[in-house]
Amino acid sequence: MKILDWYILKRYLLTFAVMLLLFIPIGITVHLAEKIGKILEKNVPFGEVMVYFLDFTIYFAHLLFPLFLFLSVIWFTSKLANNTEIVAFLSSGVSFSRFLRPYLIGATIVAIISIILGLYLAPNASKGFNNFKYKYLSGKKTSNTTNVLKQINDNDIIYVTSFDTKNKTGVNFTLEHFENNKMEYKLSASNIRYNEKDSVFRLINYVKRIVGDNNDILDLERRKDTLFNFDLEDLTPEDYIAETLRYNELVKFIDREEQRGSKYIGRYKLAKYQKWSLPVSVFILTIIAVAVSSRKRRGGMGVNLAFGICIAMIFVFFDKIFGTLASQSDFSPLLAVWFPNIIFGILAIILLRNAKR
């Protein structure tokens, strides 16, 4: 690697690191200012607060990873352009494609870091971040606690009208068991409660109807403690559960939920595909940033930064809009995740061709 490559690569990585070190403390300070009242009110142990903000740092950095990179590349490339260093590079016989090579090497390093974060570190951080938030800050978990309908295996379907995640109690519970597409029996109860001490479910006003060829058999009990072949989490599916799972765990979880016919499968697949689309966006945004900021402009660095911020906001807008469509409708999660990269990839090609001229 030549001196030019080392010079640009060091500026690339150093500016990106400085950008993270500048914005992450700001994010922590703003978040702390917003939550400090509740933290003091609940007398949260200092150690848990420190772990929470470490999780928040990883969560926040991974969430805005490409945008920090985009702005940092625009920043230092604009400085190179204003100092006419880029003109000197290109005038020495270096082609624009050759000039771009250290940027792509830097993008590769950052993309690898992004993959490690997305597959291993960010899920753990997200789990700790959300658990702390719902334990001390929100007062309750954001769970789908109403009208839970789920096929838990090939033979059983459960339904509960509502479920209180704090007290672990539900209303209007039903379990239907099928064999060869024919209902064998149906369990119902006006209330269901999970006894954590004994790991059993307590059913109130228990009714079991065994379907016969001619007559049905009814089994009635005022109260019944029993075991089921499903977990408590099946009655309290957390909205954020997909982002707390490592990749191999997430793949298994999605396969299981597909077999169960979960209506939230789009949301789970969205989290899966985002783990691979994010590193690709690092390359796309790097190319756009270099193409935009490699020319010396009359307005100086401010014009490049303003243009870069506009592009970043549009990228975030596309990402959020299509992500919401995939999680709340039948829109393809794969297309939702990759559509911003496709659009901005085309934009990167156009801007790169113009920059080479």
Q: Which residue has the higher pLDDT, 193 or 84?
A: 193
Q: Does the structure show a pLDDT above 60 at 153?
A: yes
Positive or negative, the CA dihedral 318, 321, 326, 327 is positive
Q: What is the pLDDT of residue 205?
A: 93
| 189 Ramachandran zone, left/alpha/beta (phi>0; psi -120 to 50) | beta
Is residue 224 within 8 A of residue 175, CB to CB? The reply is no
DSSP 143: B
| 300 Ramachandran zone, left/alpha/beta (phi>0; psi -120 to 50) | left
Q: Does the structure show a pLDDT above 70 at 1?
A: no
Quote the pTM value.
Answer: 0.73
What's the distance, CA 248 to chain centroid?
Answer: 15
Most trustworthy range by pLDDT among 103-112, 226-235, 244-253, 316-325? 103-112
What confidence tens digit (pLDDT) does each residue in 195-245 have? 888 888 999 999 999 988 778 888 899 999 988 887 776 776 665 677 788
Q: Does the structure show a pLDDT above 70 at 139?
A: no
User: CA-CA distance, 125 to 128, in Å (whole number)?
Assistant: 5
Average pLDDT over residues 60-87: 82
